[in-house]
Amino acid sequence: MPAADGAQTHFGFRTVDLDHKQAMVDEVFHRVARRYDLMNDLMSGGLHRVWKDIMVTALNPPRNGRPFAVVDAAGGTGDVAFRIARAGGAGTHVTVCDINPDMLAVGRERTKERGLNGIVTFAGGNAEHLPLRDRGFDGCTIAFGIRNVPRIDVALGEFYRVLRPGGRFLCLEFSTVDVPGLDALYDLYSFNVIPALGRAVAGDPEPYRYLVESIRRFPKPEAFADMIAAAGFRRVSHRALTGGLVALHSGWRL
């Protein structure tokens, strides 16, 4: 979908043309794909694993053979998809949809290593234009990816489209720290330690500087909840995790 003339968005703290953001985000993830999950461990002290497990518990895939189809958007390395597959029964199937071929390549390799071929499958596609059928899924998840989408409202509409009535949307995203004093420490860590980790581990601090900046530009939880509701979801809610470092957002297609 072309942007309106002059439409702009943010890439980190920079203002860029809306249509250029996707290419710039793609380049970031091309550069970090093979170190992405390792850097998540380092940046979060391993907490991203706990947060993702909380999201999967909320999704609650059935442990029996009942068919349960999930699309995990922007989940190229398969980290969330593998957790869903382990939590669910024989009827659980996860489709990972990601626009970045480097991330998808990592995910496919890891799927084969884990013996999950046929249970976790991959599709190349933009969250704004999911290459998936209408009303084909019982669940839709996205973890730490929505802030990288140029047109968040369009992506939310796509998530709504692919869910069956009664299906649930769950989104993990960095949020607003709500513990006095922790916010200053968080800023100090984010803008100094994380880029240094990026340089040491991945040889390049710039992608991690972007990731930090993009967190600060993301809407507050209440504003994002309003966007989810505007896309048609009902029973919209959000839950702060770890002092507000992260929020788990939820909505249902009813």
Rounded Cα–Cα distance for residues 115 and 121 (Å): 12
Q: Residues 140, 163: contact at Cβ < 8 Å? A: yes
Q: Could you tell me the CA-to-CA distances from 27 to 15, 100, 101, 180 in Å, in that order?
A: 17, 9, 11, 36
pLDDT at 145 over 60: yes
Q: Return the structure tokens found at 145.
A: 């990816």
Question: What residues pair up with 235 in beta bridges, in sequence order?
Answer: none
Q: pLDDT averaged over the chain?
A: 86
Q: pLDDT tier at 42 (50, 70, 90 boundaries)?
A: confident
pLDDT at 194 over 90: no
pLDDT score recorded for residue 161: 98
pLDDT score recorded for residue 27: 65
User: Is residue 24 packed enough to be buried (19+ CB in 10 Å), middle (13-18) or exposed (0-12)?
Assistant: middle
Q: What percent of the chain has pLDDT over 70?
A: 86
Q: What is the DSSP letter of 7?
A: -
Rounded Cα–Cα distance for residues 249 and 237 (Å): 6
Q: Which residue has the higher pLDDT, 36 or 93?
A: 93
pLDDT score recorded for residue 197: 78
76 SS3 class: coil
Nearest to 182 by CA among 240, 239, 242: 242
The CATH number that domain 47-179+211-252 falls under is: 3.40.50.150
H or E, element range at 42: helix 36-44
pLDDT at 106 over 80: yes
Q: Residues 146, 227: contact at Cβ < 8 Å? A: no
Q: pLDDT tier at 236 (50, 70, 90 boundaries)?
A: very high
251 SS3 class: strand
Nearest to 96 by CA among 86, 87, 107, 88: 107
Q: Residues 209, 221: contact at Cβ < 8 Å? A: no
What are 9-20's pLDDT values in tens digits?
443 444 445 555
Rounded Cα–Cα distance for residues 203 and 114 (Å): 28
Q: Return the structure tokens found at 201.
A: 């581990």
What are 19-29's pLDDT values in tens digits?
555 566 566 66
Whose structure tokens read 């209408």?
134
Rounded Cα–Cα distance for residues 192 and 187 (Å): 8
pLDDT score recorded for residue 32: 66
Q: Which residue has the higher pLDDT, 36 or 218?
A: 218
User: Is residue 91 packed enough to be buried (19+ CB in 10 Å), middle (13-18) or exposed (0-12)?
Assistant: middle
Q: Lowest mean pLDDT of 1-10, 95-104, 191-200, name the range.
A: 1-10
pTM listed for this prediction: 0.86
Query: Please, which residues have CB within 8 angstroms of residue 190's CB and are 6 or more apart in sequence?
Result: 212, 215
pLDDT at 2 over 50: no
Q: Which of 177-186, 206-215, 236-245 has the highest mean pLDDT?
A: 236-245
Domain coordinates in residue numbering, the chain: 47-179+211-252
What do you get for the CA distance between the two ends of the chain, in Å? Answer: 27
99 SS3 class: coil
